[in-house]
Chains A and B, each alone.
Chain A
Amino acid sequence: MLFAVLSGFLVALFAPPLCRLLRQWSGWFFALLPLALIVYFAGFIARISSGESIFFSYRWLPALGINLSFNLDGLSLLFVLLITSIGALVFIYSGSYLGRNPELGRFFAYILMFMGSMLGVVLADNAIVLFVFWELTSLSSYFLIGFDHDRAAAREAALQALLVTGLGGLALLAGFLLMGQVGGTLEISRLYAEADPIRSHELYLPILLLILAGAFTKSAQTPFHFWLPNAMEAPAPVSTYLHSATMVKAGIYLLARVSPILAGTPMWEYLITPVGTLTMLVGAYLALVHTDMKRILAYTTVSALGLMVMMLGIEASLSTQAAMVFLLAHAFYKGALFLVAGAVDHETGTRDVEKLGGLFRTMPFVAIAAMLAALSSAGVPPHLGFVGKELIYKVAFGEGGSEFMLGAVFLTNISFVTIAGIVGFRPFVGRRREFPRIPHKPPLALWLGPFVLAALGLVIGAEPGLIENWLIAPATAVIESRPVEYELKLWHGFHSSLLLSVLAFIIGIVLFFGWHKFRKAASYLIPSEKWGPARWYSLLLEGLAATARGSTRMVQSGHLHIYLLIIVCTTIGLVATSLFNQKWSLELWRWSNAYAYELVLAGVIVAATVAVVKAKSLIAAVLSLGVVGYGVALVFLLFSAPDLAMTQFAIESLSVVLLALVLFRLPEIEHYSKTRERVRDALAALALGGVMTVLVLSVTAMQKEARLVSYFAEHSYLDAKGHNIVNVILVDFRGFDTMGEITVLAVAAIGVYSLLKLYLKRNGRQGGNQ
Chain B
Amino acid sequence: MKSLILSTATRYLLPLLLLLSVYLLLRGHNMPGGGFVGGLVAAAAFALYTLAQGAADARKVLRINPRTFIALGLLTALSSACLSLFIGLPFMTGLWSKDKVVVIGKAGTPVLFDTGVYMVVLGVVLTIIFSLAED
Contact = CB atoms under 8 A, between A and B. Distances in A.
Nearest to B126: A749
Interface residues of B, number: 56
A724 B43 contact: no
Interface string B18-57: 0000001000111111111100110110011011000000
Contacts of A538: none
Interface string B117-135: 1001101110111011101
Contact of A728 (B29, B96, B131): B29
Which interface residue of A68, A657, A723, A731 has the most chain B CB atoms within 10 A? A731
Contacts of B74: 742-743, 746
A714 interface: no
A646 B73 contact: no
Nearest to A717: B30
A68 B36 contact: no
A658 B132 contact: yes
A739 B33 contact: no
Contact of B34 (A60, A68, A643, A750): A643
Contacts of A3: 86
Interface in A734-770: 735-736, 738-739, 742-743, 745-746, 748-750, 752-753, 756-757, 760
Chain A binding surface, main DSSP class: helix
B135 A760 contact: yes
B44 A735 contact: no
B119 to A, nearest CB: 9
Contacts of B121: 742, 745
Contacts of B91: 59-61
Contacts of B11: none
B31 to A, nearest CB: 6
Interface residues of A, number: 49
Interface stretch (A201-209, A417-425, A485-493, A647-655): A647-655
B32 to A, nearest CB: 4
Contacts, number: 151
Contacts of B48: 657
A25 interface: no
Given A735-B81, A748-B124, A752-B127, A646 B90 contact: no
A756 to B, nearest CB: 4
B78 interface: yes
A760 B125 CA distance: 19
Nearest to A68: B85
A671 interface: no
A481 interface: no
A722 B29 contact: yes
Contacts of A590: none
A653 B70 CA distance: 21
B59 interface: no
A13 B29 CA distance: 29
A727 B90 contact: no
Contacts of A750: 67, 70, 127
A757 B29 CA distance: 38
A58 B88 contact: yes
Nearest to B132: A661
Contacts of A736: 92
Nearest to B96: A721
A660 interface: yes
Contacts of B28: 724, 727
B85 A661 contact: no
Contacts of B81: 735, 739
Contacts of B131: 752-753, 756-757
B110 A646 contact: no
Nearest to A749: B124
A720 interface: yes
A60 B120 contact: no
Given A2-B86, A58-B85, A753-B67, A646 B32 contact: yes
A223 interface: no
A2 B86 CA distance: 7
A285 B86 CA distance: 50
B92 A650 contact: no
A2 B77 contact: no
Interface in A621-659: 642-643, 646-647, 650-651, 653-654, 657-658
A565 interface: no
Interface in A644-703: 646-647, 650-651, 653-654, 657-658, 660-662
B104 interface: no
A61 B128 contact: no
A724 B106 CA distance: 14
A682 to B, nearest CB: 31
A729 to B, nearest CB: 10
Given A724-B31, A732-B94, A739-B78, A646 B132 contact: no
A746 B44 contact: no
Interface of B: 24, 28-37, 40-41, 43-44, 47-48, 50-51, 67, 70-71, 73-75, 77-78, 81, 85-86, 88-92, 94, 96, 106, 108, 110, 113-114, 116-117, 120-121, 123-125, 127-129, 131-133, 135
